[in-house]
């Protein structure tokens, strides 16, 4: 049995700390016996008592601490307990971390990783359920990485920490923590053929027809992947609609190449994300693909699935209506293919 995504993250942090003594963890309630709000650092302070730092509830300063440590040669990994709280670190990431290397003429680097869990469907309400990573897309100098359960999240995290390319905003999804990492067997994940592009942050592509006969391209990432897969398996079985699914793990800056290649094959584009619709990641994906002139230019039918532009309601009935679900992806794909 494979690890859950949460266990994978725990292993990734452990591996990074064992490999590089410069790796320090900072965050709220990380140390044992608590081990972090989602237990991602459980055991690490017992093993590395000098390198796991519990902080007060001071997110802005927490991010700044990481920047200062990174400037002085360490490899800090900052945990922001809930992704919703990244609003509090905006100045540090945008005006300090992202700018320093370029603004100071490449005389410094900021190998900082800020990791945080996003995502809803757990009834936590408006301030503990969001996917806010879109706020940090297009910040010069800042990488935004978001693995899905099809990537190995812990391996990607470990690699990201050790590569020291930072600053990186590393987006995890609460819903994935208990989900098992899907390991490909003989190039397949279930009924899906798998292709892997890129080395540092892989983009995965899935196709039930071995990339030969798909009617649309669905671009998605992170915690939205299981929703999309369930929808597309239903479409395949019930409607005979076939799709390629393209899943980048590097959200920004976007590598359009695997997306363009897929769109060229299918000619239809659906982008699905859990964050709110307006000015979302999907808007950037669509603009990038259409302006690159790939896949037939303006004639490409396009649809987007995303959360409604509302705060996330607390009642499950409200949350389900506000967040994009399987039925939304099915409906959008059907509308595109019958177009």
> Which of 61, 87, 209, 314 touches other proteins by CB under 8 A?
61
Q: Does 134 bind other proteins (CB under 8 A)?
A: no
- Any idea what DSSP says for residue 210? T
Q: Which residues contact 200 (CB under 8 A, 6 or more apart)?
A: 159, 163, 165, 250
Q: What are the CA-CA distances from residue 17 to residues 75, 76, 157, 292 (Å)?
A: 10, 10, 12, 41
Q: Does 98 bind other proteins (CB under 8 A)?
A: no
Q: Does 138 bind other proteins (CB under 8 A)?
A: no
Piece of 50-58, 141-149, 173-181, 205-213 that binds other proteins (CB under 8 A): 50-58
Report whether 304 contacts 286 (CB < 8 A): yes
Report whether 225 contacts 149 (CB < 8 A): yes
Query: What minimum distance in Å lies between the beta carbon of 40 and other proteins?
Result: 21
Tokens of 57: 């509830």
Nearest residue to 272 via CA among 131, 178, 153, 122: 131
> Which of 6, 35, 36, 64 touches other proteins by CB under 8 A?
64
Report whether 97 contacts 141 (CB < 8 A): yes
Q: Does 90 bind other proteins (CB under 8 A)?
A: no
Nearer to other proteins, 2 or 19 (CB): 19
> Which of 1, 33, 105, 338 touches other proteins by CB under 8 A?
105
Instruction: Tell me which residues in 5-44 interact with other proteins (CB under 8 A).
Output: 24
E strand intervals along 159-200: 168-173, 188-189, 192-197
Query: What minimum distance in Å lies between the beta carbon of 76 and other proteins?
Result: 8
CA–CA distance, 194 with 225 (Å, rounded to integer): 14
Report whether 70 contacts 111 (CB < 8 A): yes
Query: What minimum distance in Å lies between the beta carbon of 75 and other proteins?
Result: 11
> Which of 60, 302, 326, 331 touches other proteins by CB under 8 A?
60
Nearer to other proteins, 135 or 272 (CB): 135
Q: Does 317 bind other proteins (CB under 8 A)?
A: no
Piece of 97-105, 151-159, 253-261, 289-297 that binds other proteins (CB under 8 A): 97-105
Residue with token string 């992704």 = 83
Query: What minimum distance in Å lies between the beta carbon of 116 and other proteins?
Result: 17
Q: Does 239 bind other proteins (CB under 8 A)?
A: no
> Which of 1, 33, 50, 339 touches other proteins by CB under 8 A?
50
Q: Does 55 bind other proteins (CB under 8 A)?
A: yes
Buried-exposed string 154-182: b where 16+ CB fall within 10 A, e elsewhere: bbbbbbbbbebbbbbbbbbbbbbbebebb
Nearer to other proteins, 23 or 143 (CB): 23
Tokens of 210: 């071995």
Q: Which residues bind other proteins (CB under 8 A)?
A: 24, 50, 53, 55-56, 58, 60-74, 76, 91-92, 95-96, 99-100, 102-105, 107-108
């Amino acid at each position: 049995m494979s690890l859950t995504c949460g266990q994978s993250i725990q292993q990734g942090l452990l591996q990074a700390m064992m490999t590089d003594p410069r790796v320090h963890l900072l965050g709220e309630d990380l140390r044992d016996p608590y081990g972090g709000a989602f237990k991602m650092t459980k055991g690490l302070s017992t093993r590395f008592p000098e390198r796991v730092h519990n902080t007060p509830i001071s997110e802005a300063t927490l991010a700044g601490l990481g920047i200062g440590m990174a400037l002085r040669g360490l490899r800090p990994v900052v945990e922001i307990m809930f992704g919703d709280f990244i609003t509090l670190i905006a100045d540090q990431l945008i005006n300090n971390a992202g700018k320093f290397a370029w603004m100071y003429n490449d005389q410094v680097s900021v190998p900082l990783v800020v990791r945080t869990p996003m995502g809803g469907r757990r009834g936590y309400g408006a301030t503990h359920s969001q996917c806010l990573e879109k706020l940090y897309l297009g910040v010069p100098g800042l990488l935004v990485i978001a693995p899905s359960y099809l990537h190995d999240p812990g391996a990607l995290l470990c690699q990201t920490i050790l590569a020291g390319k930072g600053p990186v905003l590393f987006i995890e999804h609460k819903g994935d923590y208990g989900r098992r990492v899907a390991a490909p067997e003989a190039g397949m994940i279930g009924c899906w053929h798998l292709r892997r592009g890129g080395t540092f942050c892989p983009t995965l592509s899935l196709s039930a027809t071995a990339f030969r006969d798909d009617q649309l391209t669905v671009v998605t990432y992170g915690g939205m992947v299981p929703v999309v897969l369930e929808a597309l398996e239903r479409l395949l079985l019930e409607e005979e609609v076939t799709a390629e699914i393209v899943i980048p793990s590097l959200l920004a800056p976007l590598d359009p190449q695997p997306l363009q290649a897929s769109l060229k094959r299918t000619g239809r584009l659906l982008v699905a994300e859990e964050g709110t619709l307006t000015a979302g990641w999907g808007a950037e994906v669509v603009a990038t693909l259409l302006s690159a002139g790939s896949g037939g230019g303006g004639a490409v039918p396009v649809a987007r699935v995303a959360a409604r532009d509302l705060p996330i309601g607390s009642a499950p009935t409200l949350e389900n209506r506000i967040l994009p679900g399987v039925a939304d992806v099915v409906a959008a794909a059907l509308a595109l293919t019958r177009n």
